[in-house]
Structure 1
């Protein structure tokens, strides 16, 4: 629906679209094609998925085991669930414009803020797992190549972060202007340096041996990306080169929300990589592996033949005593993911009074605050073993 040319194709179907895009959204069984395009289509489709996951998050509250009748809905009834999702999606396009887009923009900004923090948690987990595995291989095989690999990627990530800082100052600041951008870049750079120093302190590494500069470099690079994404929403043409692409381009109505700029593309790539990582990570997790447990059979020994007769395992439901993951929180994370995709596809632009998408300072502050929250979250993972020595953080 964001692709140029879709509107002209839709107008070729007289049973779908009204003759003009200025008519109400629904009129005599026909739909205004404008409601099927651009940010309005993104808002409505993501509203449908968010509403679907929100309903299931409420429905699955306090499901403790598979003996709960609601567990069958979680693990089955796929045809009916897709039918419900389709119905919500169709109904979403009948929502009048009014204040819906403005309200849903702020809901999406809040949800995307939380999902940015979740992405950082996944990146921290990824860096910790990566660092631990390569250190173990270096010790087992007594090879310095693994240490060299860790050093190379750590240096690479820090180099990319430093290059990003230089480019941000070059393209998003001007002499005697853009004071907010300069403050954001300088402050985030200072905070990244601080957490990098904390990560290699002897006391921190003593309490958490897996802590190191690899994790700090990943967090630093991600923080610079979030800073770049925030600066791309600054509503000042002098301080934001991307603003010209969206607000001054002479394109037909409905196409002004082009999402294929660099910050949005990188954001979608990060989103996909995080989703891929959590899938791979979950498949290797001991709690998830318990889903594939089999009953063990005792081998019997035939005295005459001196041969062991093995019994084949039989799969069983291991969630009768307790679920292996929270069904409700699972759907809540997908709710936040839907909102994050919505904000990314619309560049965090808010619908304006004229129907065009405009960039606003709230989007900038939400992203900057998310970068600060992520740095504080990483700092907590470093100092928590020192402050809470009785807890097991392995």
Structure 2
């Protein structure tokens, strides 16, 4: 028996070492995304099956007053805390790394076996912390998640403007036609989705004024985006306006679908699959946002993405290309100054904030007022989504009007 255990342990260690070696040789950023994805899966699993286990831990409140959902939230927050600590520590360590000759550059790209062990230990240790620390982390996570949503919006705005500029720069008729086609498609999608939401969330026979207000505001904002973007004195374009309109309609949908399932104006209140589907979309959006921030981390147009001394000319390099160039520079053992292609500290900060946001998504923003069988449901989730939509609209309108209102200032 001991031989079997020893063999299994050896195989496991060998597998981890092989995976770690493969990650360091290909792309560090992909490896970090893998760890983040593993934390999401672990949180989801423990949320579903971990409640009975937590009830047996003596240092966690096991009184009869605590519900199943409370233990589910505890499981999610504790995994999130371990993951957040891991990336926060890396973010602090990597502050000020501007050159590839810095020893910390090798820490960022290598040592994956040690990193996996540390990550696992931090997640495990989080389950030994007292409830008061988890309660404090849950409170802080609400603000961290809000900050992540703000960064997500800024990245979306950066993406739409970059997309538009790339096609306009080609200066060919077919690309202008493509811009117009995509813009019209997005606007049609935004208004069609809004119309469907009226059917789902404004059922006849009920006073659903709040839902109607949310939907009308979404449609008005889409119209305002187009009017401002096409104004002759505003240097705007229809493509970003249409993409932002479609995104706002989607965020409005996620907000309305998060309404309590006993609320008569929630036309989807009988479908648990809708809650799970919304969660999957939310998680997918989170992962894509984190991946996009990693790809754009060296871009001069992304928020806080490039370190002060990094050259802007290297900011738009693709993910794998940038990693290969860094690998070549290390093989050559060149001692001359080689600025890093993106901010390592900001990169890890994104993952730390994303850990907080994913915890809020899985725990319904730590609200225990709804059924434990439903995910991301409650009025807190509703207002967070609607607030995100309005913040997106405000930031986009500001990007259009700021150059017009302040002509003496330069806006990149």
Is TM (by shorter chain) over 0.5?
yes
Q: Distance in 2 between matches of 1:101 and 1:242?
A: 33
Matched residue, 1:375: 393
Structure 2 gap ranges (5+)? 1-41, 61-67, 300-311
Matched residue, 2:280: 265
| Mapping for residues 114-125 of structure 1, pairs under 5 Å | 114-125=147-158
Matched residue, 1:222: 247
Q: Compared with structure 1, are the counterparts of its residues 130 and 93 closer, same or farther at alpha carbon in structure 2 (3 Å cutoff)?
A: same
For residue 233 of structure 2, give the secondary structure of its aligned residue in structure 1: helix
Q: Distance in 2 between matches of 1:55 and 1:282?
A: 19
Matched residue, 1:23: 56
For residue 351 of structure 1, give the secondary structure of its aligned residue in structure 2: coil
How far is the alpha carbon of 1:153 from its aligned partner?
Answer: 1.1
| Mapping for residues 6-85 of structure 1, pairs under 5 Å | 7=49, 22-24=55-57, 38-65=72-99, 70-85=104-119
For residue 333 of structure 1, give the secondary structure of its aligned residue in structure 2: helix
Matched residue, 1:159: 188
Matched residue, 1:186: 216
Q: Distance in 2 between matches of 1:372 and 1:346?
A: 23
8 Å CA contact 2:206–2:265 kept in 1: the answer is no
Matched residue, 1:204: 234
8 Å CA contact 1:26–1:94 kept in 2: the answer is yes
How far is the alpha carbon of 1:269 from its aligned partner?
Answer: 3.0
Q: Distance in 1 between matches of 2:144 and 2:284?
A: 19
Q: Distance in 2 between matches of 1:355 and 1:273?
A: 27
Q: Distance in 2 between matches of 1:146 and 1:25?
A: 64
Matched residue, 1:14: none
8 Å CA contact 2:211–2:256 kept in 1: the answer is yes
Q: Compared with structure 1, are the counterparts of its residues 101 and 259 closer, same or farther at alpha carbon in structure 2 (3 Å cutoff)?
A: farther
Matched residue, 1:336: 353
Q: Distance in 1 between matches of 2:395 and 2:72?
A: 35
**What is the total number of aligned residue pairs between the two structures?**
341
Q: Could you say what the CA RMSD is over the residues aligned between the two structures, in angstroms?
A: 4.0
Matched residue, 1:31: none
For residue 340 of structure 1, give the secondary structure of its aligned residue in structure 2: helix
Structure 1 gap ranges (5+)? 12-16, 28-33, 206-210, 247-257, 296-312
Q: Compared with structure 1, are the counterparts of its residues 181 and 130 closer, same or farther at alpha carbon in structure 2 (3 Å cutoff)?
A: same
Q: Distance in 2 between matches of 1:318 and 1:122?
A: 33
Q: Compared with structure 1, are the counterparts of its residues 377 and 105 closer, same or farther at alpha carbon in structure 2 (3 Å cutoff)?
A: same
8 Å CA contact 1:63–1:70 kept in 2: the answer is yes
8 Å CA contact 2:208–2:265 kept in 1: the answer is yes
**Bigger share in helix:** 2
Q: Distance in 1 between matches of 2:377 and 2:147?
A: 20
Q: Compared with structure 1, are the counterparts of its residues 158 and 100 closer, same or farther at alpha carbon in structure 2 (3 Å cutoff)?
A: farther
Q: Deviations over 1:311-367 (max 9, x none)?
A: xx95746756x6543332222111111122223334546235997778432322222
- Residue 88 (structure 1) aligned to one of 122, 126, 137: 122
Matched residue, 1:147: 176
8 Å CA contact 1:124–1:218 kept in 2: the answer is no
Matched residue, 2:313: 286
Q: Distance in 2 between matches of 1:129 and 1:361?
A: 35
For residue 203 of structure 1, give the secondary structure of its aligned residue in structure 2: coil
Q: Deviations over 1:210-263 (max 9, x none)?
A: x311101111111111111222222352122455456xxxxxxxxxxx896232
Q: TM-score, normalised by structure 1?
A: 0.71
Q: Compared with structure 1, are the counterparts of its residues 119 and 106 closer, same or farther at alpha carbon in structure 2 (3 Å cutoff)?
A: same
For residue 146 of structure 1, give the secondary structure of its aligned residue in structure 2: helix
- Aligned: 1:112 with 2:141: no
Q: Compared with structure 1, are the counterparts of its residues 50 and 293 closer, same or farther at alpha carbon in structure 2 (3 Å cutoff)?
A: closer
